[in-house]
Structure 1
Amino acid sequence: MNPSDVTGRAAKFRLGVFLLGLFTALLALAMPAYAKEILRLPYAIDIGTFDPDNGFEVDGVSAINNVYEGLVEYAPGSTQIVGLLAKRWAISNDGLSYTFDLEDGVKFHDGAPLTAQAVVGSLKRRRDGGLALSYMLGNVADISAPDDDTVVIRLKQPQPSFLDALASAWGPKVISPLALSEHDKSDKATNWLGEHAAGTGPFKLAEIKRGEGYVLERNADYWGKRPYFDEINIPVVPDIGQQILKLKAGELDVVPTNFPFAQLSHLPAGLEVTAAPSMTQYALFVKPGSPLDNPEIRRAVLTAINPSLWVKDVFGPYAELSKSAYQNLMLDPADPIEYPGDIEAARAAIAKLGEVNLSIGLHSTKAAYARISDRLIIQLALIGVKTTAHVLPPGAAFALKGDPSAPDALLTISSPDAAHPENQARAFFTKDAPLNFYGRSLPEADAIVDVAGTKTDVAERNALYEKAGRLYLDAGHVIPLVDVKDVVVHAKGLTDLGLRPAFPPGNIDFATIRWTR
């Protein structure tokens, strides 16, 4: 063969390779590479544990609820209970047995199939494990699986609020039986589940860095509707000011909660507000033996602190007056609260009684607490009541019972763990309620709550709960103030945030949120 032919062929080959590479490069430039859709939002505090049975997370419940799923849930924007892992259910005539039919084709993140036996194992872990949230299944007598697709829960006594307990933000979730068995080190796998996860949800826990943040990635094998976002990036940013700066700089897409209400009316052009119904109720809980035990002083104080005088100044259009001891979304009372309106009579009553001093403890350093207390102090000064307010140390609000140095009233958020009035009454008002901050007791009201908790007729039950609530109010145990909306500030174009009224504010549903751009 002529050497020149060989050389020519080699040159042509190299030219062909070059042209092919050039064509590939040009094609790559003409066709943009696939980019992940990533949602970036901060949590103000670290997640204590990712174990869905063993921690009362508030900020972090959105992440947990997108990794794990329960039998039922609240529909977004509603207190309506709909199926999740259960496609249907039936309740026995005696109100004791709940039968759930499971969805088909569901798998855990580790590949294990969802079976009725897996649900039974998870629910028994929640009920029997002595865990932080075991109380939610305290009325459950038996949990069984008659077949692979059916779960039967038998109660000790009728509990009309039971489905609400299951739908709660902190309701029982279903954990992979494989993970529970492999990682049980005589601790019911609590240590492993604190920083790992194996649920059925639309997202998997991909990364957890204490004090820094979390990453969730979309579950490619999810049994339900495919989420819009491939990844949820959740840095821990404790300072709200830093969160806002990062949002304005485009480093975050959302500030889910605690955005100052005073700034909402003049957001930058690229930001917008999503406001949704909420069960966030600000209220004053009153210490026994305080000046507010005197009916004359209490009436004068109620006149001065009437929320209609200050709610718009503090919250703008994002709050409404509380109508009862229950959130407005939970119960629409037949006889709403009416604050006295005669300021001159209130001033005369205080003048007659002599010097009246009140102290208010604030449950949190969040801006809304300070804005409310500032207005209360100003309003009370108008009738001659000298009032001071101070932020309580972390956890101190839960140690006020029997403390002689405790403030005369505690300003806090009164929000239940589910949307049924039973959950509100049993959390805050009855004698042994865990959030009966001052340990006050009103047996006649508690007896009415006992009866109300057995009623399935909504109108009948609500009338009883309202009657009990009125007794707690008239006895001066609690002073409801305002119900505040769930307010999320985010980049324009984000929609379908999936906020649920009975959940803590700002708990976005990562399975529904999407860009409209």
Structure 2
Amino acid sequence: MQTYAYPTKQPGKRSFCVRLLILLGLLLAASPVYAEGVLRIPYVADIGTFDPDNGFETGAISAIDNVYQGLVQYEPGSTKIVGSLATSWDISDDGLTYTFHLAEGVKFHDGAPFNAAAVIKSFERRRDHRMILSYFLANVKDMRAPDDSTVVLTLGHPQPSLLDALSSPWGPKIISPSALAEHDNGDFATTWLNEHAVGTGPFKLAEFKRGQRYVLERNDAYWGDKPFFRQIQISVVPDISQQILQLQAGAIDAVPINYPFAQLTSLPGTLEITTAPSMIPYDLFVKPNSPLDDLEVRKAVLTAINPALWLQDAFGEFASLSRSVYPNVMLDPVTPIRFPTDFEAAKATIAKHGAVHLVIGLHSAAPAYARIADLMIAQLALIGVKATAYVLPSGAAYALKGDPNPPDLLLTIAGPDAAHPENQAKVFFTKDAPLNFFGRVLPEADVIVNQAGQLTDIKERNALYERAGRMYFDAGIVIPLVNVNDVVVHAKGLKHLGLRPVNPPGNIDFATVRWGP
């Protein structure tokens, strides 16, 4: 994880004095807030639900994960699994039984004691009652508590990815059993938990004003390390220009996502960047019966859209070429995917084939999508391919299988929900993958994915995942492009943001962030 500030032009004497007065005014205006220990963060989108079991929040996942905790978690800046509410764990030789030893002396925000029964209550709520995130525990066939500080999970079949699933930002969290019982109106407390929360985390949900403002208060009875900030104030500011103006004026402390990459080299001296590797791969998914079904046309198109030609223009130093169909942080392939480079051959292929028209659907209206599309369209024009792009309506990417007129290509971020390669392959590529956008099937690759999912030897496992991934690419199902870093622009002096590769971009860890060294 890196934090740095870019040099700025030296102003003239008069300009310098004016800027100094403005800066002093901003610092004076902001200093009382800093002294009060308040961190002010904007969200571009509203929180759909604060229920940790029943929604796939992205921008707000750090807020949820600082109120609730799971048994294990990913260490900041890493995919290393470390304890949280579980201090240690044992795995049986057959891979079917996981025994977790729980932290002692932990209490929920409502004062209820944390124990093994609370873990099982929360896990059963997620698994058994049609919660959106129930799939995380689908393979857990039995749960028991031999005593208050021990939880034993028995699986239906060996699942080496289980600890990753439990460590996921969307993995199972523990909710106060007292709150669940009190607010269960026949809906397992889902209505109440949309806008309320009772966990064990370092912060409590203190205010929930939908579409306007959310406040987290420090849990002064927290069992772990005490957070630096006593309060987190979250505002909903959809317009990125407004966020930038507020940041420059000292009204907020960070722009967590979507700061234009082109502006990152000319930040004011009061701002700096924290960047970290992330699982943010931009991929193209290809519909069946597109012009790319023709192998020669596909090779020509790959030549034109080669991300090595436009990565720097789109993201500067904050991205790297994708090395496989898996995020670079997740899997380092022995033989990286290479794009063809013979432009003359590509032009000749298109000239021989005849007119080729491609339509690119953009999963989001975020600026990076349009920038990538514009650059690829310009490159395609150089070989005689006409391409256009449009932003899909909200949610339309998830219904492309039934769309009578889908785009030829879907440009999307294919980020997994955990750091195990199974969480990439079985989310995006296999037959029943929930985000297999066009429903394309390659049975021989799926068989290899299933074999890899049973292995605990990482080198052997990754070799199989790499092989299957290359098959999906060679079949023209998916085209990996670039991996983009997590980039947060913030007031100078904000440190230890706790960014995690698996988390969606911009999710600052409120438990670790602080002012100073």
- Is the TM-score greater than 0.5? yes
Shift of 1:402: 3.9
Supply the distance in 2 between the matched residues of 1:362 and 1:33 (Cα, whole angstroms).
40
Aligned residue-pair number: 486
Which residue type is aligned with residue 282 of structure 1? Y
- Find the counterpart in structure 1 of residue 103 from structure 2: 103
Which residue type is aligned with residue 233 of structure 2? N
Asked if 1:467 is matched to 2:467, the reply is yes
Which residue type is aligned with residue 414 of structure 2? S
Shift of 1:348: 0.5
- Find the counterpart in structure 2 of residue 246 from structure 1: 246
Q: What are the Cα deviations for residues 367-406 of structure 1, in whole angstroms up to 9, with x where unaligned?
A: 0000000000000000000000011111111111142310
The 5 Å alignment of 1:317-336 reads 317-336=317-336
- Find the counterpart in structure 1 of residue 476 from structure 2: 476
Supply the distance in 1 between the matched residues of 2:112 and 2:436 (Cα, whole angstroms).
43
Q: What are the Cα deviations for residues 458-504 of structure 1, in whole angstroms up to 9, with x where unaligned?
A: 00110000110011000000000000000000000000000000110
- Find the counterpart in structure 2 of residue 17 from structure 1: none
Shift of 1:363: 0.5
Supply the distance in 2 between the matched residues of 1:404 and 1:299 (Cα, whole angstroms).
26
SS at match of 1:455: coil
- Find the counterpart in structure 1 of residue 510 from structure 2: 510
- Find the counterpart in structure 1 of residue 496 from structure 2: 496
The 5 Å alignment of 1:104-143 reads 104-143=104-143
Supply the distance in 1 between the matched residues of 2:58 and 2:313 (Cα, whole angstroms).
27
- Find the counterpart in structure 2 of residue 231 from structure 1: 231
Supply the distance in 2 between the matched residues of 1:144 and 1:124 (Cα, whole angstroms).
11
- Find the counterpart in structure 2 of residue 360 from structure 1: 360
Q: What are the Cα deviations for residues 267-317 of structure 1, in whole angstroms up to 9, with x where unaligned?
A: 011000000010000010000000011100000000111111110111000
SS at match of 2:372: helix
Asked if 1:267 is matched to 2:271, the reply is no
Supply the distance in 2 between the matched residues of 1:299 and 1:188 (Cα, whole angstroms).
53
Which residue type is aligned with residue 106 of structure 1? V
Which residue type is aligned with residue 128 of structure 1? D
The 5 Å alignment of 1:114-263 reads 114-263=114-263
Supply the distance in 2 between the matched residues of 1:319 and 1:302 (Cα, whole angstroms).
19
RMSD across aligned positions (CA): 1.1
Shift of 1:79: 0.1
Supply the distance in 1 between the matched residues of 2:381 and 2:307 (Cα, whole angstroms).
15
- Find the counterpart in structure 2 of residue 46 from structure 1: 46
Report the CA distance shift for 1:387/1:34 in structure 2 as closer, same or farther (over 3 A).
Answer: closer
Which residue type is aligned with residue 339 of structure 1? F
Supply the distance in 2 between the matched residues of 1:316 and 1:172 (Cα, whole angstroms).
37
Shift of 1:104: 1.2
Supply the distance in 2 between the matched residues of 1:130 and 1:405 (Cα, whole angstroms).
32
The 5 Å alignment of 1:383-462 reads 383-462=383-462
SS at match of 1:444: helix
Give the share of equivalent positions with the same residue, in percent.
68
Shift of 1:46: 1.0
Q: What are the Cα deviations for residues 61-96 of structure 1, in whole angstroms up to 9, with x where unaligned?
A: 111000000000000000000000000000000001
Supply the distance in 1 between the matched residues of 2:338 and 2:45 (Cα, whole angstroms).
38
Which residue type is aligned with residue 192 of structure 2? W
SS at match of 2:387: strand
Supply the distance in 2 between the matched residues of 1:64 and 1:420 (Cα, whole angstroms).
22
Q: What are the Cα deviations for residues 432-465 of structure 1, in whole angstroms up to 9, with x where unaligned?
A: 1111000000000001111111000000110000
Supply the distance in 2 between the matched residues of 1:177 and 1:115 (Cα, whole angstroms).
10
SS at match of 1:329: coil
Shift of 1:203: 0.2
- Find the counterpart in structure 2 of residue 91 from structure 1: 91
SS at match of 1:308: helix
- Find the counterpart in structure 2 of residue 344 from structure 1: 344
Q: What are the Cα deviations for residues 225-281 of structure 1, in whole angstroms up to 9, with x where unaligned?
A: 000000000001111111111101100001111111011000011000000010000
Supply the distance in 2 between the matched residues of 1:289 and 1:452 (Cα, whole angstroms).
30
Q: What are the Cα deviations for residues 74-132 of structure 1, in whole angstroms up to 9, with x where unaligned?
A: 00000000000000000000001110111111000000011111111111111111111
- Find the counterpart in structure 2 of residue 11 from structure 1: none
Shift of 1:33: 12
SS at match of 2:401: coil
- Find the counterpart in structure 1 of residue 68 from structure 2: 68
Shift of 1:34: 11
Supply the distance in 2 between the matched residues of 1:335 and 1:402 (Cα, whole angstroms).
35
Supply the distance in 1 between the matched residues of 2:64 and 2:297 (Cα, whole angstroms).
46
Report the CA distance shift for 1:281/1:34 in structure 2 as closer, same or farther (over 3 A).
Answer: closer
Gaps of 5+ in 2: 1-31
Which residue type is aligned with residue 252 of structure 1? I
SS at match of 1:41: strand
Q: What are the Cα deviations for residues 202-242 of structure 1, in whole angstroms up to 9, with x where unaligned?
A: 00000000110100000010000000000000001111111
- Find the counterpart in structure 2 of residue 285 from structure 1: 285
Report the CA distance shift for 1:294/1:137 in structure 2 as closer, same or farther (over 3 A).
Answer: same
SS at match of 1:131: coil
Which residue type is aligned with residue 399 of structure 2? A
Whichever of the two has the greater Rg, that structure is 1
- Find the counterpart in structure 2 of residue 16 from structure 1: none
Supply the distance in 1 between the matched residues of 2:144 and 2:503 (Cα, whole angstroms).
29
Supply the distance in 1 between the matched residues of 2:37 and 2:380 (Cα, whole angstroms).
52
Gaps of 5+ in 1: 1-31
